[in-house]
Amino acid sequence: MFCKQIPHRVSALMAMSLLLIGTPVAAHRAPVATEISQDGIVFNAGFVLPSQALFAMQPGESFAVNFPLLGKKIIVHESHTNLINGVAFWRGYLAGDVRARVTLRFDGQVFVGSIRYNAIDYTVESVGDKLAMRPGKPAQFEQKQGDVVGYLTDKRGRPIAVRPGMYQVNMALNTLLNAQENDVIQLPLPNGRKLPLVFTGREVGHEGAVDWYGYSRDDGRAYQATLTMGPDATFGVITTPETIYRLETESGRTYLVDVKANRLPIR
């Protein structure tokens, strides 16, 4: 069930908006229950995420959810956006693990999103008149752009390290420059993984250089990405829990540098 652990101004909205799972209800109303089927965990009609309460929360405030199978989890609010181009995003994490991400997308009427728990992604989505939570199904609710770098590779398609931890790349600058707030762009890493970055804004600086800002969707706002793109060079820093990546331009060529693998000092 949802329980309040947030200030009075929010708890009042929570009280009006939340319907407790498994709580006895008046006889004239259908009981609220959950089902476990081949489609995953399904909350029956009547379970509503409280949009007003969620978007009134401040960073660090939290609430509890009693999930079937997962048990009681505390969700900590990290950030949210206003409605932009018809959608708003609410992001947080499970208490005690900032990498256990909770991402919700709201279009003014319904929520869809995902919850990551023990390295498993659970997709939350509306199915007819129900809210379903499906383990292992990739969430398809974010506006995703393409890859922002391509590597110089060998015959097997593996990135070539020109020096330890240093890889020559081609930048997809148009993808970065055309990103809209809340878009997710993909940064391919030398190990084959892709790092999703949430775009938050850009600024135009001296001589037309553009500063691009984002953060790791899966690791949270503590892990920032800042890129500077000029007419002839691109520089940047992308932080992750494992290492720091730098974008550098030398003699007209751009490189992605894994600071840890390159044995550079991590600052």
Residue 267, pLDDT > 60, answer no
Q: In which band, very low, low, confident or very high, does the pLDDT at 140 lie, cut at 50, 70 and 90?
A: low
pLDDT digits (tens, 9 = 90+) for 156-207: 889 999 999 999 999 999 999 998 887 889 999 998 888 989 899 999 987 7
Residue 128 within any structural domain of the chain: yes
pLDDT at 180: 85
pLDDT at 2: 41
Residue 195 within any structural domain of the chain: yes
Residue 265 within any structural domain of the chain: no
pLDDT digits (tens, 9 = 90+) for 104-113: 888 888 888 8
Average pLDDT in the 222-249 region?
94
Same domain, residue pair 151 and 128: no
Dist CA 173 CA 28 (whole Å): 59
Pairwise pLDDT comparison (78 vs 18), residue with the higher score: 78
Work out how many domains the chain is built from and give that number. 2
Dist CA 244 CA 237 (whole Å): 7
Same domain, residue pair 242 and 171: yes
Same domain, residue pair 107 and 46: yes
Dist CA 14 CA 56 (whole Å): 10
Question: Among 83, 103, 135, which residue terminates a domain?
Answer: 135
Is the entire prediction scored with pTM above 0.85? no
Same domain, residue pair 124 and 155: no
Same domain, residue pair 112 and 178: no
pLDDT at 215: 92
Same domain, residue pair 48 and 165: no
Question: Among 77, 107, 135, which residue terminates a domain?
Answer: 135
Question: Among 109, 135, 161, which residue terminates a domain?
Answer: 135
Domain that holds residue 82: 3-135
